[in-house]
Amino acid sequence: MTLALLRSKAFTTLLSLVLLVDLGQAIQETTTTASTSKDWWETAQFYQIYPRSFKDSDGDGIGDLNGITSKLEYLKDLGVTAAWLSPIFTSPMVDFGYDISDFFDIQPEYGTLDDFRNLIKKANELGLKIILDFVPNHSSDENDWFKKSVKREKGYADYYIWHDGKVNATTGKREPPSNWLQYFRGSAWQWNEERQQYYLHQFAVQQPDLNYRSPDVVAQMKRVLRYWLNEGVAGFRCDTVPTLFEVQPDADGQYPDEAISGITQDPDDRNFLTAKYVEDQPETIDMVYQWRTVLDDYQRIYGGNSSVLLIETYSPAWYTMQFYGNRSVNGAHLPFNFNFISVIEKNGLSAKTVQYSIDLWLQNMPAGRTPNWVLGNHDRRRAASRYGLKHIDAMNMLVMILPGASVTYQGEELGMTDGEISWEDTVDPWACNSNPNIFEQYTRDPERTPFQWTSGTNAGFTQGPTTWLPLAADYKTINVETESAADHSHLTIYKSLTALRRSSKTLQNGNTRYKVLSEDVFVVKRSLSGAASIIYVSNFGSSTVTVNLTEFDKTLPASLGLLIRSLDSKKTDGVKYAIGQLELESGEALVFSTE
Ligand SMILES: *[C@@H]1O[C@H](CO)[C@@H](O)[C@H](O)[C@H]1NC(C)=O
Ligand SMILES: *[C@@H]1O[C@H](CO)[C@@H](O)[C@H](O)[C@H]1NC(C)=O
Ligand SMILES: *[C@@H]1O[C@H](CO)[C@@H](O)[C@H](O)[C@H]1NC(C)=O
Ligand SMILES: CC(=O)N[C@H]1CO[C@H](CO)[C@@H](O)[C@@H]1O
Ligand SMILES: [Ca+2]
Ligand SMILES: [Ca+2]
């Protein structure tokens, strides 16, 4: 789905090429800068909150800010560094907050500005950072800017991308300016009766694209950033960045048509066409550099910690890596790395696809930048459903053992799986714009079901009688209450990992080596001179195997102390295991120390 599918052809071609060469034989080694003074975000665990589904405080069945505030202690206890909140701004909720009608205020059903200030205050007290979603590509059609633009009011006439369209020589009828398609199915152009022009919307009809070729828009969006920095946020996660700019019209004022991609036969599906003219334009990279300057200037003037820019992009590496900046300019701190989602979705989970996903990032990343690892978000089926519940610990371990920052989508720490949502209960516009036969291909509702706090009524998400989406079926066993009480659970494993990441200089600053060891087994070693090494080993296959870890690294001691083990592992924490003949069951994942 989404942008990744569009790229999937490129990915598959690349991947099959690489897999022909047996990567399993090669040991990949990365030397990270052994600097001991890393900034907070360079080793951070980010945690994504989908506010609508996190915690309801007033019984209306919809999550809200006071709900989040009441659960900040949970995040502290979990050991994460910063939480990023999906949009909380005023919105008609056509795309559940990604259609913003006022970038400077809070959606009433989520709370008020005072509630937000209270949330920030409590987070500061706990030493947690709060990051907001910045949705720069479009606003809601109910935004005052759009209403003024429709009326061609002074200063707003060019805020959006307007066009007269074309006249069909045969029929004499007006047609859209180009064949471009929106993400949520159908034309990306919508006729506006009042202004007598088409406007561009790369997402829903109610999400008109802002015109970044207008200096007023550029200035306005920087104002948005400064406004929330003033409210004490620690940075922004920028939504759907590659769609920011489109190609400029030609000398006659016309936009070029996209070619047919050959990926799907469905002419309403965005993937029916290429996205050469509507994504990955060079101007977009420069705009991100400009936003970074806004953040850096703010810190220079007002002091305090650095605030971060996290970028959402499913674009190919050659484009994505430019967001980091170049030799003379800083860009985003972390362009999100979705390889563990995209590559594995396309090619399945195996030691080789894990290795390939890591290579694809580390081998393309510019020198001196910080890697990051993402397992999921509110647009993708839940990690435990995609990888299989038995591999969720292995994947949570992986993203925290690898160098750099990691990102957790709410519920991944519990092993939450997708909910089953009928067509009748479906609310996601992407699915609703399709039909009862194919909606499951598009719907993003299953990964947005309410967070599971307890095994009680409505999973403790709300005191009220209803929830905005039905609960996932597994809430009686997969929830915070049950997993906290257990000696060993996905949650306790997750907490051990964040604790290790915080305490281990090796994980923060060490070198990284990794290898496919036998068909199904993947191993990572982090090492730092003068400190214990950390070894991660995981069996992604379906049968028990015995491996010899000295084949991977001859300098390892004959036995290693077990620090953390996956849920079903029958080994014992704290015990030393001989690594010459280490038996690993299917799905077993272990974290060892050389001490
Ligand atoms: C003009 O309209 C006709 C009839 O609907 C259609 O077949 C043709 O493709 C259109 N031409 C262009 C250039 O879109
Ligand atoms: C870096 O990016 C800036 C801003 O886009 C550009 O002006 C400059 O030429 C680039 N420098 C290099 C070395 O690529
Ligand atoms: C900066 O971040 C650190 C680590 O999270 C925190 O302890 C400190 O209070 C922050 N300083 C300011 C000025 O916010
Ligand atoms: C992961 C993510 O944030 N996806 C969002 C990308 O942008 C569109 C439009 O704003 C949203 O619908 C997605 O949820
Ligand atoms: Ca509520
Ligand atoms: Ca755009």
Three-state SS sequence of 215-269: HHHHHHHHHHHHHHHHCCCCEEEECCHHHCCCCCCCCCCCCCCCCECCCCCCCCC
Higher pLDDT among residues 15 and 369, named by residue: 369
Q: Encode pLDDT of 363-391 as tens digits.
A: 999 999 999 999 999 999 999 999 999 99
Neighbouring CB atoms inside 10 A of 440's CB total 15
Average pLDDT of 483-496?
A: 98
Average pLDDT of 19-38?
A: 56
Given a cut of 60, is residue 14 above it in pLDDT?
no
Ligand 3 atom nearest 305 alpha carbon: 1
Tokens representing 15 are: 């991947």
Given a cut of 80, is residue 24 above it in pLDDT?
no
Given a cut of 70, is residue 11 above it in pLDDT?
no
379: Cβ below 6 Å to ligand 4? yes
The helix, strand and coil proportions of the chain, stated in percent and rounded to the nearest 5, come to 35, 20, 50
Residue with CA nearest ligand 1 atom 14 = 168
Average pLDDT of 277-305?
A: 97
Q: Encode pLDDT of 260-279 as tens digits.
A: 999 999 999 999 999 999 99
Ligand 2 centroid to Cα of residue 536, in Å, is 39
pTM to 2 decimal places = 0.93
String of b and e for 519-542 (b: at least 16 CB within 10 Å)? ebbbbbbbbbeebbbbbbbbbbbe
Average pLDDT of 528-541?
A: 97
Reference 417, options 440, 384, 453, 392; nearest CA is 384
Given a cut of 90, is residue 477 above it in pLDDT?
yes
pLDDT interval class at 129 (50, 70, 90): very high
Q: How large a percentage of the chain has pLDDT more than 70?
A: 94
Higher pLDDT among residues 76 and 31, named by residue: 76
Q: In this predicted structure, what is the pLDDT of residue 75?
A: 98
Q: Assess contact for 538 and 592: CB atoms under 8 A.
A: no
Where are the strands (E) in 36-149, listed by range?
45-49, 82-85, 89-90, 102-106, 129-134
Ligand 3 atom nearest 81 alpha carbon: 5
pLDDT interval class at 13 (50, 70, 90): very low
Q: Encode pLDDT of 157-176 as tens digits.
A: 999 999 999 999 999 999 99
Q: What's domain 504-593's architecture?
A: Sandwich (2.60)
Ligand 1 atom nearest 171 alpha carbon: 2
> Which residues does residue 82 pair with via DSSP β-bridges, in sequence order?
46, 129
Residue with CA nearest ligand 3 atom 6 = 127
3-state secondary structure of 62: coil
Ligand 4 centroid to Cα of residue 202, in Å, is 11
Q: In this predicted structure, what is the pLDDT of residue 37?
A: 83
Q: In this predicted structure, what is the pLDDT of residue 164?
A: 97
Q: Encode pLDDT of 389-427 as tens digits.
A: 999 999 999 999 999 999 999 999 999 999 999 999 999
Ligand 1 centroid to Cα of residue 253, in Å, is 20
303: Cβ below 6 Å to ligand 3? no
Give phi and psi for 447, each to the nearest 5. -90, 5
Reference 339, options 324, 367, 317; nearest CA is 317
Ligand with minimal distance to 279 CA: 6
Probe residue for ligand 3, chosen from 42, 233, 305, 308 as the CB with the greatest number of ligand atoms within 8 Å: 305
Residues of the chain with CATH 3.20.20.80: 2-18+43-139+215-249+278-485
CA distance 374 to 335: 11
98: Cβ below 6 Å to ligand 4? yes
CB under 8 Å to 314, separation ≥6 — which residues? 2, 3, 4, 6, 7, 242, 338, 342
Average pLDDT of 11-32?
A: 46
String of b and e for 20-45 (b: at least 16 CB within 10 Å)? eeebbeeebebebeeeeeeeebbbbb
Q: Encode pLDDT of 555-579 as tens digits.
A: 999 999 999 999 999 999 999 999 9
Edge-first strand listing for the sheet containing 589-593: 28-30, 511-517, 521-527, 534-539, 589-593, 559-565, 576-578
Residue with CA nearest ligand 2 atom 13 = 327
Ligand 1 centroid to Cα of residue 257, in Å, is 14
CA distance 134 to 221: 9
Probe residue for ligand 4, chosen from 184, 243, 379 as the CB with the greatest number of ligand atoms within 8 Å: 379
Average pLDDT of 145-150?
A: 98
Q: In this predicted structure, what is the pLDDT of residue 408?
A: 98
Q: How large a percentage of the chain has pLDDT more than 90?
A: 92
Q: What is the DSSP letter of 432?
A: H
Q: In this predicted structure, what is the pLDDT of residue 363?
A: 96
Q: Give me the active site residues, please.
A: 239, 312
Ligand 6 centroid to Cα of residue 136, in Å, is 8
Residue with CA nearest ligand 3 atom 12 = 304
CB under 8 Å to 282, separation ≥6 — which residues? none
Residues of the chain with CATH 2.60.40.1180: 504-593
Ligand 3 centroid to Cα of residue 554, in Å, is 41
CATH class of 2-18+43-139+215-249+278-485: alpha beta
* Mean pLDDT, the chain, whole residue set: 94
Give phi and psi for 163, each to the nearest 5. -160, 145
